[in-house]
């Protein structure tokens, strides 16, 4: 092992990321199912769907109309569609179910991803040591501080919760949800594109090829088998002083 930076190869990092991403998604989906059952999400969905179908049958039209279909409607059909939407808005049970669906969707998605990140990106690496998820362990990777010191719980928490969960996952997810609910306009894809551009620039133009979460935590992904990782900063300094002294003794006068 050497104490100089032994950066992990991109293909290993990509492979570990793909494995971790799949496992993270599985955990998030499982917790989402549990939270859906606990919060009664399916009941609100059933209430809204029933009210939606009832209004469609009552007015003899489909409320799920695309922009092109709407442009092809006659004035009478548009008036009938507006009446149907108004009837839907006047139904308190349906509207309450709709509001609960929106609120619970955000809550369930946010909490399920949070729990998944805490388990997979924080608790498991704490147990395995050296910031390794199962993906990193399988592909021989580790995470350390940029000064070659072993990552601690605080840095790992910042890396997982502030970097990965908040910036790299939840901001894009919430923007996509806002697009789906029609609550945000053209600025949404611009923000998503900016996040992607910043992530790529950080990846390709930093010496350590880090991502945003690594910059925030001052960490770097390294090859576990060849990288020397020190327990403390003092141990790292002592080792470098020892190496420097040995080189000085061997140097010709």
Element holding 143 (H helix, E strand): strand 141-145
pLDDT tens track for 60-80: 888 887 778 888 888 888 888
For residue 30, CA distances in Å to 26, 108, 112, 143, 161 come to: 6, 11, 8, 27, 20
Signed CA dihedral, 13, 16, 21, 27: sign only: negative
pLDDT of residue 100: 93
pLDDT tens track for 207-250: 888 888 999 999 999 999 888 899 988 888 888 888 777 777 77
pLDDT tens track for 197-212: 888 888 888 888 888 8
Quick check: 96 pLDDT over 90?
yes
Mean pLDDT of 83-102: 90
Q: Are 119 and 27 in contact (CB under 8 A)?
A: yes
Q: Over the Cα atoms of the chain, what is R_g?
A: 26
Quick check: 184 pLDDT over 60?
yes
pTM: 0.84
**Domain limits, the chain:** 10-250
Quick check: 10 pLDDT over 80?
yes
Quick check: 144 pLDDT over 70?
yes
- pLDDT band of 183, cuts 50, 70, 90: low
């Amino acid at each position: 092992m050497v104490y100089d930076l032994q950066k992990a190869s991109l293909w290993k990092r990509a492979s570990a990321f793909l494995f971790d991403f799949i496992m993270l998604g599985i955990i998030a989906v499982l917790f989402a199912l549990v939270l859906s059952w606990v919060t009664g999400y399916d009941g609100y969905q059933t209430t809204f769907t029933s009210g939606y179908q009832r209004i469609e049958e009552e007015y003899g039209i489909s409320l799920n109309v695309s922009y092109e279909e709407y442009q092809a409607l006659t004035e009478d059909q548009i008036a009938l569609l507006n009446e149907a939407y108004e009837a839907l808005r006047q139904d308190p049970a349906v509207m309450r179910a709709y509001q609960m669906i929106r609120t619970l969707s955000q809550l369930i998605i946010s909490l399920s991803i949070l729990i998944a990140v805490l388990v997979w990106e924080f608790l498991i690496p704490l147990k395995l040591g050296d910031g390794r998820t199962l993906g990193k362990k399988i592909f021989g990777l580790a995470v350390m501080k940029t000064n070659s010191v072993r990552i601690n719980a605080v840095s790992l928490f910042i890396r997982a919760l502030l970097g990965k969960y908040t910036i790299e996952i939840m901001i894009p997810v919430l923007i996509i949800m806002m697009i789906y609910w029609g609550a945000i306009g053209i600025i949404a894809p611009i923000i998503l594109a900016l996040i992607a551009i910043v992530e790529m620039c950080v990846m390709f133009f930093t010496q350590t090829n880090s991502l945003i979460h690594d910059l925030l935590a001052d960490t770097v992904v390294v090859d576990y088998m060849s990288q020397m990782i020190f327990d403390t900063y003092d141990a790292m300094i002592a080792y470098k002083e020892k190496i420097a002294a040995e080189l000085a003794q061997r140097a010709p006068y």
